[in-house]
């Protein structure tokens, strides 16, 4: 690992509407106890945001997304621009704890480790709704009940808090730009597909979950509504279908099958059990969330049956597609 610049941090942003969140994310990186080698802000096709960031932020390299619009293209641009041996990604509405960078880097002492991801905790702007089951915190981009709780190998990371060896990302071809979020469209799973592709390419490689590397993810009031919960679950089903199309339903859905067999039945039972402390709406949320996700997955698989074969992954820096 390059000892002079071991870590580049990439924050991707697309709108001025989250300026306060973005500023907090930038400050949290600059306040790390283990200083980062460089901090890059990749702006996704929003010239006004790029101009304001260049004028307001010091110690931040602001670059524009050179690939297809969306989070995947922005992340690929960050990887291409990064000078560090390790590239970490922090969401523009998340704040890293002061020891975050050091905790991530510590995982790379093992040469088998291709990537290290951390714990994502929700910061509820208006408080957690009493009906919102912890098993569904992935809806708001956070770690959820049923995930590993100790340092351990995992299949994939949560995108708000993840890092990779830059060389491994480049070798795998980067994030697919036909997957993932564009603006406010609540699709995702591009990081899952990349993780699967990386470990398929290097079967001896390890993706390490380090819960001591903590970030707190802002959850605004709009994301605590039933309408967002249902639409995000449906979009997750669509996204999982896309991952299965690229990676196969075996590796692509292994974690999801375990989640359906274990975490969700326990959540439903807890919601229905008198005296459990759960809101009466929790069981309904579990059932509705699972149903919407399965519906989205079925719709995604049906769409895939009528699509042309998936395009190959373009190398990072290959331009917009």
Domain harbouring 137, CATH code: 3.90.550.10
Statement: the pTM of the whole predicted model exceeds 0.75:
yes
pLDDT at 310: 56
Would 312 be classed as within a structural domain? no
Would 281 be classed as within a structural domain? no
Domains in the chain, number: 1
Query: pLDDT of the chain along its 321 residues, tens only?
Result: 444 458 999 999 999 999 999 999 999 999 999 999 999 999 999 999 999 999 999 999 999 999 988 999 999 999 999 999 999 999 999 999 999 999 999 999 999 999 999 999 999 999 999 999 999 999 999 999 989 899 999 999 999 999 999 999 999 999 988 765 665 555 667 898 899 999 999 999 999 999 999 999 999 999 999 999 999 999 888 888 877 776 655 555 666 666 666 767 776 777 667 756 667 788 889 999 988 988 988 888 887 666 655 555 666 765 443
In angstroms, the CA 57 to CA 33 distance is 20
Would 84 be classed as within a structural domain? yes
Would 275 be classed as within a structural domain? no
pLDDT at 248: 59
Would 230 be classed as within a structural domain? no
Would 98 be classed as within a structural domain? yes
pLDDT at 321: 37
In angstroms, the CA 96 to CA 196 distance is 26
pLDDT at 271: 64
Distance (Å) of CA 144 to CA 2, 133, 218, 256, 290: 34, 9, 15, 13, 14
Would 188 be classed as within a structural domain? yes
In angstroms, the CA 147 to CA 135 distance is 9
Domain holding 14, by residue range, is 7-222
- The count of residues in the chain is 321
Would 314 be classed as within a structural domain? no
pLDDT at 270: 74
């Amino acid at each position: 690992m390059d000892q002079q610049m071991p870590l580049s941090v990439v924050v991707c942003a697309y709108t001025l509407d989250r300026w306060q969140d973005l500023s907090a994310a930038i400050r949290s990186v600059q306040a790390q106890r283990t200083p980062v080698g460089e901090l890059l802000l990749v702006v996704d096709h929003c010239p006004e945001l790029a101009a304001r960031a260049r004028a307001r932020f010091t110690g931040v390299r602001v670059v524009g997304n050179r690939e297809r619009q969306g989070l995947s293209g922005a992340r690929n641009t960050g990887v291409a621009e990064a000078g560090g041996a390790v590239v970490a990604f922090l969401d523009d509405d998340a704040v890293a704890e002061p020891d975050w960078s050091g905790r991530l880097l510590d995982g790379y002492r093992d040469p088998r480790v291709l990537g290290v991801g951390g714990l994502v905790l929700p910061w509820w702007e208006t408080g957690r709704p009493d009906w919102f089951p912890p098993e569904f915190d992935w809806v708001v981009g956070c770690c959820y009940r049923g995930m590993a709780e100790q340092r351990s190998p995992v299949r994939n990371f949560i995108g708000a808090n993840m890092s990779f060896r830059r060389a491994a990302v480049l070798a795998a071809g980067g994030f697919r730009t036909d997957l993932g979020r564009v603006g406010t469209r609540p699709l995702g799973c591009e990081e899952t597909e990349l993780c699967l592709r990386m470990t398929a390419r290097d079967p001896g490689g390890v993706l390490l979950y380090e819960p001591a590397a903590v970030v707190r993810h802002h959850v605004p009031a709009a994301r605590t509504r039933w309408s967002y919960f249902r639409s995000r679950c449906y979009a997750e089903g669509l996204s999982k279908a896309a991952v299965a199309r690229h990676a196969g339903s075996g590796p692509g859905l292994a974690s999801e099958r375990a989640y359906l067999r274990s975490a969700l039945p326990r959540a439903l039972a807890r919601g229905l059990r008198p005296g459990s402390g759960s809101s009466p709406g929790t069981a309904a949320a579990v059932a509705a969330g699972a149903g919407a996700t399965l519906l989205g997955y079925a719709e995604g698989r049906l769409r895939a049956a009528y699509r042309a074969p998936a395009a190959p992954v373009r190398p990072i820096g290959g331009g917009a597609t």
